[in-house]
């Protein structure tokens, strides 16, 4: 079994100490002969947890697989990912979610917690086998039709009622479908100028307003995916003020980029929900800082290059994000003084784990806790390139951009998955070997 001694790491609270790992957990002192990682000058963070990843397997292995997606995760400092249900077959049965979870366990780069579909085939017509997925070996606790909105209010109500019986949560992709038919980018002056169909903020805000009211009435737990507008923040602030059990996420790209990127017609910037205005970016940053938005989630959405090099209107929606997420958060939130590293640890690890009912992340670095951590060189600057991407797709909006920070090492359950800024070999990770 793996034993590690990590020397001189700076913890999220700013203290500096050595960390010892044995048999997958933090211990007082590691046995003689433990592998040594020099973390002098590095920031230690708890293993990052992504509540919103598209791993694409089964069905779309040309874009990503459980192996390549979790390698991308490890390279980005993540030790757990929640895998969205829009695979083929859809993750709407116990069999499919168990398959995805066990592929993750087999490879070992990160814990894979499958998200179950809310409706059969994501078709929005009848509820999927939510109970069977919850009781399965995958123990699903998060349910989402992400990519599509559960727009039927009666189905949404039933789903919220059902998951409340076992402490689950519905993660809503808030997009009123009638208001966004054919929509291509944020609705406003710029969309008119560019001749691209507009995607109004109210399409997101109206669904969030409806669903927080349903959650209140049913005393159910609701999570809102990828909040993108100032109006959504206002609705969430109101709901939380009333004590409604709602949580929300923002993506790194909605914290950093604006709709102005669409002026290039470069479809790397085409994403769902669309990039919004500077005013919206300022609002979601402030909301993450004051807790109205609880977490950052990547919405890592790999697509083959040909579907992103197409004309804007034909191109796919989505960006990869696992390898750039921490750097973007550093740039948008830490270097602006809105969050410190203890806050980053919360919004990228403890809070997403709590929302997803993922054990082992509530007492980071404590003796006896699972050894999930990442070491970051926060002083580094890098020009982000395809060499930084480890998944099967390269549809990143940051290629060629200078980003702060660099993940030096990631440790998942005591097993190093990345070291010296490089992924460790798949065989050694799968076997749980020390460095």
Q: Which stretch binds Zn ion (CB under 5 A): 90-98, 145-153, 178-186, 198-206?
A: 145-153
**Total residues interacting with Zn ion, rule: CB under 5 A:** 3
State yes or no: residue 98 binds Zn ion (CB under 5 A).
Answer: no
Interaction mask 146-165, Zn ion, x per CB under 5 A:
x-------------------
Nearest distance, CB of residue 434 and Zn ion, angstroms: 38
State yes or no: residue 50 binds Zn ion (CB under 5 A).
Answer: no
Q: Which stretch binds Zn ion (CB under 5 A): 116-124, 132-140, 169-177, 190-198?
A: 169-177
State yes or no: residue 388 binds Zn ion (CB under 5 A).
Answer: no
Pick from 107, 173, 254, 372 the residue near Zn ion by CB under 5 A.
173
Q: Which stretch binds Zn ion (CB under 5 A): 170-178, 359-367, 368-376, 420-428?
A: 170-178
Q: Which is nearer to Zn ion, 34 or 275 (CB)?
A: 275
Catalytic residue among 92, 146, 299, 388, which? 299
State yes or no: residue 424 binds Zn ion (CB under 5 A).
Answer: no
Q: Which is nearer to Zn ion, 146 or 377 (CB)?
A: 146
Nearest distance, CB of residue 232 and Zn ion, angstroms: 13
State yes or no: residue 253 binds Zn ion (CB under 5 A).
Answer: no
Nearest distance, CB of residue 139 and Zn ion, angstroms: 23
Output the residue with the shortest Cβ distance to Zn ion.
Answer: 173
Nearest distance, CB of residue 86 and Zn ion, angstroms: 9
Question: Is the N-terminal amide bond of 32 cis, ω within 30° of 0?
Answer: no
Nearest distance, CB of residue 85 and Zn ion, angstroms: 11
- Say if residues 409 and 9 touch (Cβ distance below 8 Å): no
Nearest distance, CB of residue 284 and Zn ion, angstroms: 15
Q: Which is nearer to Zn ion, 227 or 373 (CB)?
A: 227
Residue 51 has φ and ψ, to the nearest 5°, of -80, -5
Q: Which stretch binds Zn ion (CB under 5 A): 85-93, 167-175, 196-204, 416-424?
A: 167-175
Q: Which is nearer to Zn ion, 207 or 334 (CB)?
A: 207
Q: Which stretch binds Zn ion (CB under 5 A): 22-30, 142-150, 283-291, 339-347?
A: 142-150
- Comparing CA positions, the residue from 415, 398, 429 lying closest to residue 322 is 398
Q: Which is nearer to Zn ion, 45 or 224 (CB)?
A: 224
Is 299 marked active-site? yes
State yes or no: residue 145 binds Zn ion (CB under 5 A).
Answer: no
Interaction mask 214-243, Zn ion, x per CB under 5 A:
-----------x------------------
- Comparing CA positions, the residue from 405, 409, 257, 254 lying closest to residue 334 is 405
Which positions are catalytic?
A: 299
Q: Which residues bind Zn ion (CB under 5 A)?
A: 146, 173, 225
């Amino acid at each position: 079994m793996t034993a590690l001694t990590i020397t001189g790491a700076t913890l999220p609270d700013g203290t500096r100490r050595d960390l010892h790992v044995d048999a997958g957990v933090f211990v007082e002192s590691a046995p003689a002969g433990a592998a040594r990682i020099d973390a002098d000058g590095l920031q230690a963070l708890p293993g990052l947890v992504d509540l919103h990843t598209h791993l694409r397997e089964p069905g779309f292995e040309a874009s990503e697989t459980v192996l390549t997606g979790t390698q991308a995760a490890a390279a980005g400092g993540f030790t757990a990912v929640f895998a969205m249900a829009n695979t083929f077959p859809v993750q709407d049965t116990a069999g499919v979610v168990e398959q995805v979870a066990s592929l993750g366990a087999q490879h070992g780069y990160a814990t894979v917690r499958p998200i179950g579909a809310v409706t059969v085939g994501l078709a929005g017509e009848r509820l999927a086998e939510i109970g069977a997925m919850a009781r399965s070996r995958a123990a699903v606790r998060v349910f989402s039709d992400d990519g599509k909105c559960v727009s039927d209010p009666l189905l949404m109500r039933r789903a919220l009622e059902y998951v409340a019986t076992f402490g689950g949560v519905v993660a809503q992709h808030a997009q009123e479908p009638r208001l966004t038919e054919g929509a291509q980018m944020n609705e406003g002056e710029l969309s008119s100028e560019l001749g691209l169909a507009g995607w109004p903020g109210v399409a997101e805000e109206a669904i969030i307003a409806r669903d927080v009211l349903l959650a209140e009435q049913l005393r159910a737990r609701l999570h809102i995916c990828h909040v993108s507008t100032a109006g959504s923040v206002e609705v969430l602030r109101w709901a939380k003020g009333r004590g409604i059990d709602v949580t929300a996420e923002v993506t790194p790209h909605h914290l950093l980029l604006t709709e102005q990127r669409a002026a290039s017609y470069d479809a790397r910037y085409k994403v769902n929900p669309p990039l919004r205005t500077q005013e919206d970016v300022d609002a979601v940053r402030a909301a993450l800082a004051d807790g109205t938005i609880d977490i950052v989630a990547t919405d890592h959405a790999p697509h083959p290059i040909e579907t992103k090099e197409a004309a804007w209107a034909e191109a796919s929606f989505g960006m990869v994000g696992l390898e750039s997420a921490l750097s973007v958060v550093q740039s948008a939130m830490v270097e602006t003084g809105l969050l410190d590293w203890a806050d980053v640890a919360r919004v990228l690890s403890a809070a997403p784990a709590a929302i997803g009912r993922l054990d082992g992340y509530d007492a980071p670095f404590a003796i006896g806790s699972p050894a999930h951590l990442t070491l970051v060189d926060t002083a580094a600057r890098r020009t982000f390139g395809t060499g930084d991407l480890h998944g099967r797709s390269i549809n990143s909006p940051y290629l060629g951009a200078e980003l702060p920070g660099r993940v030096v090492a990631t440790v998942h359950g005591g097993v190093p998955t990345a070291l010296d800024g490089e992924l460790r070999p798949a065989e050694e990770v799968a076997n749980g070997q020390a460095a």
